[in-house]
């Protein structure tokens, strides 16, 4: 397994573990969606920034773009009150999905330019990411407990989708 595949594989598993941790928060009566969402987006950005520095020689800046998307989302979170209005939470999540979709599209273009077959998988992942993001944003009109579970499931789906790329790269490399 090459370095890029290994870094992406570890990153995806960390995101899956983060999503699982989010989903068990309601068990411990942690219901403040604002704090949970800020921590989730912050960790997501930090993880992708570390991924970017781990792959700095690969000239792939998708990790930096993802971290930049998280920073824009965090700035938005400080202006909008997402505790009182679920529509604000849905808006912030939808904007983050749009920014991340642009990042994932750029990554697909990166693979396409290098004549790598993984660009097709990235396009399918992008479509699934957009669909799951829209469904998550629409489903946020409930109590704090349900909102945390929806965010957790969305980030779990996102982690699984990010796991598909290094897994496919490893299987193609092994073949």
pLDDT tens-digit series, residues 108-138: 887 788 888 888 898 999 999 999 999 999 9
Can you read off the two tokens belonging to residue 81?
Answer: 């009150």
Is the distance from CB of 80 to CB of 92 less than 8 angstroms? yes
Nearest 5°: CA angle at 131, between 130 and 134?
85
pLDDT score for 116? 80
Query: Would you state the structure tokens that stand for residue 38, as one six-digit string?
Result: 């800020």
Any idea which of 81-90, 94-103, 146-155 has the lowest mean pLDDT? Answer: 81-90
Alpha-carbon distance of 36 to 125, in angstroms, equals: 25
Averaged pLDDT score across all residues of the chain: 90
Mean pLDDT in residue range 66-84:
91
Mean pLDDT highest for which of 19-23, 105-109, 119-123?
19-23
- The domain total for the chain is 1
Strands (E), the chain: none
Give the largest Cα separation in the chain, rounded.
Answer: 52
Model confidence, pTM: 0.90
Residue 28 confidence (pLDDT) above 70? yes
Residue 21 has pLDDT above 90, yes or no: yes
Instruction: Reply yes or no on whether the pLDDT at 40 is more than 90.
Output: yes
- Mean pLDDT along residues 79-108: 90
Domain ranges, residue 23: 3-174
Q: Which two tokens stand for residue 63?
A: 């990790």
CB 40 within 8 A of CB 30: no
Q: What is the per-residue pLDDT for 3?
A: 85
Q: Per-residue pLDDT for 100 more than 90?
A: yes
Model confidence band, residue 4 (pLDDT cutoffs 50, 70, 90): confident
C-alpha–C-alpha distance, residues 30 and 164, integer Å? 31
The pair of structure tokens assigned to 161 is 């989708």
Do 83 and 33 contact (CB within 8 A), yes or no? yes
Q: How far apart are CA 172 and CA 57, in angstroms?
A: 22
């Amino acid at each position: 397994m090459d370095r890029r595949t290994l870094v992406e594989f570890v990153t995806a598993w960390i995101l899956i573990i983060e999503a699982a941790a989010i989903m068990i928060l309601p068990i411990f009566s942690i219901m403040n969606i604002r704090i949970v969402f800020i921590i989730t987006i912050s960790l997501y950005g930090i993880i992708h920034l570390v991924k970017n520095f781990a792959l700095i020689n690969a000239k792939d800046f998708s990790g930096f773009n993802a971290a930049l998307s998280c920073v824009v989302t965090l700035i938005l979170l400080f202006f909008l009150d997402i505790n009182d209005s679920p529509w604000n939470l849905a808006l912030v999540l939808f904007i983050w999905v749009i920014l991340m979709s642009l990042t994932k599209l750029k990554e697909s273009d990166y693979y396409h330019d290098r004549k790598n077959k993984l660009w097709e998988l990235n396009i399918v992942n992008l479509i699934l990411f957009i669909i799951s993001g829209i469904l998550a944003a629409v489903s946020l009109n409930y109590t704090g407990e349900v909102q945390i579970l929806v965010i957790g499931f969305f980030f779990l789906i996102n982690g699984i989708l990010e796991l598909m790329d290094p897994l496919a790269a490893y299987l193609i490399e092994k073949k």
